[in-house]
Amino acid sequence: MTASTWSGCGNEDLDRRIRTAILEAVPIGVIAVDAEGRIRFANRELETLLGYTCAELLGHPVEILVPESVRHRHGEYRSAPMSTGDVRLMGRGRDLCARHRDGREIAVEVALKPLLIESETMTIASIVDVSERKRLHEEMFQASAELERRVRERTQALESALISNQELLRDIEAQRAAFERLSREDPLTGLYNRRELEGRLRDEVLRADKLGTPLSLAVMDIDHFKNINDRHGHSVGDIALQRASTLIRQCARQVDFIARHGGEEFALIMPGAGIAEAREICQRICNAFRDEDWQSVLPEIPSVTISIGVSEWSTGLDSHAFLDRVDALMYAAKRAGRDRIAVAEAGGFDIQSGRLALDSRMLQSHVE
């Protein structure tokens, strides 16, 4: 069996604090389970997700987080990754649920990885809530079923009442267009969704590489959005997202491509724009958020700001690495104080061992 190990920096107490801080900071639930299936660690995100406190989980069998209907087989699933040493997604091809403290079942994705900690092998499990994704998939399925139902009804009506073919085709095309739009757009903001973003960015990178034209990308995130949801409710958060998407549209060019990247994140592809022009567009967006009269649409919220990472594409960088690079810049803007833009010139990043190594001379985090 091969397990990952933590090499540390030589100071055991510091290493322990670093590991704990990292695990507490990640935006997904994380637990560590020993070889006997006892929970040895649970981070705050897991407490939020499943309703248990860390004290209620430590030392208990991990099966308390498993729905009763599948608990009897969980030991077999749990031991599988320990024999291979590889990261393994649980439940590939089927739905998984975790049991909340109040008895509810929550749709989740779970990835398992053995890790050697002080000569003891544990299984680290990352747990992600996919309830919203599942809900959207269900909406698309229902839309598809509705389309099929209407086509079937229209066909029967045509056979029985000789309805005109032209009228039937118009109805089918309208339904097809609506279904196609649902598969490409974010239903809340009307912007393109993440799948469309990834496809469009791949095409734009290929075009820029072939034609030698500039291409820039920005990733932006609404500051303190979780506080808005927690304090004022998701309905207020939804209004903030809709208003944010409108402001971004107003500041972008007609040729630009805007997408909701996920949660409170947005992405802006700027074909033909070098870093100077891209930076100006991002500055307009920052200024628009600062100048917006938020209380006219959200009386509960006096102001909303946004943090942005922006970079120009450089030769040899594929679309996934390009998106990762700009996403890292956005987080750099967050760390620098929020309500600002982190800018990297083309070629300012070197990707090594799956991590981003940043030349500090090429990164500017500022408020203009």
Give the pLDDT of residue 77.
65
Task: Dig out the tokens for 156 from the structure.
Answer: 């029967």
H helices of 93-233, in order, are 131-161, 165-184, 194-211, 225-232
Give the pLDDT of residue 83.
55
Domain span holding position 355: 194-366
Task: Dig out the tokens for 360 from the structure.
Answer: 């500090």
Within a domain: 17: yes
Final residue in a domain of this structure, among 164, 184, 204: 184
- State the first-to-last Cα distance of the chain, in angstroms, to the nearest integer: 53
pTM: 0.50
Q: Where are the beta strands (DSSP E) in the chain?
A: 4-5, 29-33, 39-42, 88-89, 96-99, 105-117, 120-129, 215-222, 257-262, 265-271, 306-312, 341-344, 349-352, 355-358, 363-366
Within a domain: 122: yes
Within a domain: 189: no
Final residue in a domain of this structure, among 94, 109, 129: 129
Final residue in a domain of this structure, among 100, 129, 158: 129
Give the pLDDT of residue 170.
72
Residues 168, 250: one domain?
no
Within a domain: 90: yes
Residues 244, 323: one domain?
yes
Residues 69, 140: one domain?
no
- Dist CA 31 CA 53 (whole Å): 12
Within a domain: 171: yes
Buried b vs exposed e over 322-355: b needs ≥16 C-beta within 10 Å? bbbbbbbbbebbbebeebbbbbbbbebbeeeeee
Residues 206, 180: one domain?
no
Within a domain: 115: yes
Cβ atoms within 10 Å of 226's Cβ, excluding its own: 12
Residues 258, 339: one domain?
yes
Give the pLDDT of residue 174.
65
Residues 282, 328: one domain?
yes
CATH number of the domain encompassing residue 30: 3.30.450.20
Residues 148, 292: one domain?
no
Within a domain: 256: yes
Give the pLDDT of residue 252.
97
Residues 105, 235: one domain?
no
Give the pLDDT of residue 211.
96
Residues 103, 165: one domain?
no
CATH number of the domain encompassing residue 329: 3.30.70.270
Give the pLDDT of residue 301.
86
Residues 341, 201: one domain?
yes
| Half-sphere exposure of residue 331: CA atoms within 13 angstroms, side-chain side | 9
In the chain, how many domains are there? 3
Give the pLDDT of residue 324.
95
Phi, psi of 307 (to 5 degrees): -110, 140
**Average pLDDT, 10 consecutive residues per value, the chain (368 residues):** 51 69 81 88 88 89 86 68 62 79 88 80 85 83 87 80 64 64 82 94 96 97 93 91 96 96 94 96 96 89 94 94 96 94 65 33 39
Give the pLDDT of residue 135.
84
- Dist CA 254 CA 133 (whole Å): 30
Within a domain: 222: yes
Minimal CA–CA distance to 244: which of 263, 218, 266? 266
Burial class (CB in 10 A: 0-12, 13-18, 19+), 148: exposed
Residues 332, 210: one domain?
yes
Residues 215, 358: one domain?
yes
